[in-house]
Structure 1
Amino acid sequence: MITLVALDIAGTTVDDGGIVYEALRGSVEEAGAPVAPADLQTWMGADKVEAITHLLRLGGVEPTGELVATSFGRFREILAERYAAEPPVPVGGAVEAIAELRRRGVKVALTTGFTADVAVPLLGALGWTVGSSADDTVDALITTSDVAAGRPAPYMIFRAMEATGTRDVREVIAAGDTAVDVRAARAAGATAIGVLTGKADRATLEAEDHDYVVDAVAAIPALVVEFGAGE
């Protein structure tokens, strides 16, 4: 039986047109480090400070503390500028899927490689709320501000369990559109689902140790029913 579904934000439940990818790449390339598409794909979904650190090093630039902080600042600036010009929207069917899960008594948490000061305004712009009321969109929001390390570490999933009172990881589905989303789910011991609404293709996600790869979050309520969630 599934009692908690933990979902990534950008690319999984929220369609931002790939702006996160562009902001991450731009912030690193402005620091003088070329970003290979495969490296960008590898580090998408991770904590953005950690991603910037690794991408700088992969691009041949020493990731000093000052440079990483400056690049992260630029990432946030680029993201804010692009989001203001092209506001993100929910992925098709995501709002309905989340509502259906909660209607069945399944808790829903959002997890993200963003820090809280990026994630909270993003959800606010969508009109999404966090809380236990039936009127709220999701039950919990877990960001990299809440944990010691972001994906592929499993800590955000564990924190989502703590926030929702979920005690058994076997009752958890964790889903996202990047390789590190799937790795974090597997590291936590949750059911690991790759979602094809982001930039990663099926081959990329299926190459990870996964349980399912689905076209979109809209497919998850049916999987939960198979696991025996209540009506």
Structure 2
Amino acid sequence: MNSSYPYHFTRRYVGKLEAVIFDWAGTVLDFGSFAPTQVLVEAFAQIGIHLTLDEARGPMGLAKWDHIKAVGQMPSVAARWQAQFGAAMNDADVDRIYALFMPMQIEHVGRFSLPIRGAIETITQLRQRGLKIGSCTGYPRAVMNTLQPIAADYGFVPDHIVAADDLKAGARPGPWMALANVIELGIGHVAACVKVDDTIPGISEGLNAGMWTVGLAISGNEVGLTQDEWDALDIEQQEQKRDQASRKLAQAGAHYVIDSIADLLPVLNEIELRMAAGEQP
């Protein structure tokens, strides 16, 4: 008698959303994501390498040590580094820049970290729906120790926070920080979670964790303007920048792309309708 059973089935989550996991800079706080980028420019400048803000923004979403290394590997930066020092950047150089970066980041992170328009109100409504609020970030724990009480004064107090250097497994684009939120929040299935982020590594993190993902086109790194700078653009300029940013996040695999956290609630409603119809992330 053949005792093998070659049956195949797919186990689907049937239920409602349980949690939303947010990035920090460019997602909930710091419209335009200036705290990490501006300080990175200043850290490189201290050793004689002048970055543009676009170069500093390129690998945004990675843990900061990895971010610095990725910037140094950009062809434009690598060429200037070679000309300045006669060799390619190595890990010891990354350590040196990181050592310059960290105290400046800790000192200045609060200066840039006002809540994004509509963020606190949106999170309040999520809690009223019974959703848990997780979070993870490219910032290391030492920066979060400074930023967390500042954010709390503004009303942002997530149920859990995972910093980029908290986990042995690593950070983005891997799934580990998002999954650490699942564990600590007691979520029964990853498909009950939505990851919200303004960066491509952050979207990859959510996808790798098996979650729904929502990219933020305007408030974060891809457009990289302050709220006032964005508001000063005419409609045609805004549409051009929105289209460019949205396309990049969609190509990264985001299930939805919206302007900012203020637009999140209708997307969550649509996700729950899709889940009720049997769809999975």
Length-normalised TM-score, structure 1? 0.85
Q: How has the CA–CA distance of structure 1 residues 136 and 44 changed in structure 2, closer, same or farther, with 3 Å as cutoff? A: closer
Instruction: State the identity as a percent.
Output: 23
Q: How has the CA–CA distance of structure 1 residues 154 and 177 changed in structure 2, closer, same or farther, with 3 Å as cutoff? A: same
Q: Distance in 2 between matches of 1:106 and 1:215?
A: 22
Q: Distance in 1 between matches of 2:179 and 2:94?
A: 27
Decide whether the 8 Å contact of 1:33 with 1:56 is kept in 2.
no
Range moving further from structure 2, 190-199 or 27-36: 27-36
Decide whether the 8 Å contact of 1:42 with 1:180 is kept in 2.
no
Unmatched runs of 5 consecutive residues or more in structure 2: 1-15, 82-87, 223-244, 274-281
Match of 1:144 among 144, 157, 164: 164
Range moving further from structure 2, 16-25 or 140-149: 16-25
| Pairwise CA distance, 1:64 | 3.4
Length-normalised TM-score, structure 2? 0.71
Match of 1:94 among 119, 137, 143: 119
What letter is aligned with 2:104?
I
Range moving further from structure 2, 30-39 or 63-72: 30-39
Confirm whether residue 180 of structure 1 aligns to residue 224 of structure 2: no
What letter is aligned with 1:10?
A
Q: How has the CA–CA distance of structure 1 residues 207 and 34 changed in structure 2, closer, same or farther, with 3 Å as cutoff? A: farther
Decide whether the 8 Å contact of 1:98 with 1:137 is kept in 2.
no
Report the counterpart of residue 66 of structure 1 in structure 2. 92
Q: Distance in 1 between matches of 2:124 and 2:164?
A: 25
Report the counterpart of residue 216 of structure 1 in structure 2. 260
Residues 160-198 of structure 1: CA deviation (Å, up to 9, x unaligned): 101101131111100111111111111111111111211
Report the counterpart of residue 203 of structure 1 in structure 2. 247
Decide whether the 8 Å contact of 2:31 with 2:220 is kept in 1.
no
RMSD of the alignment, in Å?
2.5
Report the counterpart of residue 104 of structure 2 in structure 1. 78
| Pairwise CA distance, 1:73 | 2.1
**What is the number of residues matched between the two proteins?**
223
| Pairwise CA distance, 1:199 | 2.6
What letter is aligned with 1:48?
K
Q: Distance in 1 between matches of 2:188 and 2:45?
A: 43
Confirm whether residue 7 of structure 1 aligns to residue 32 of structure 2: no
Q: Distance in 1 between matches of 2:188 and 2:55?
A: 35
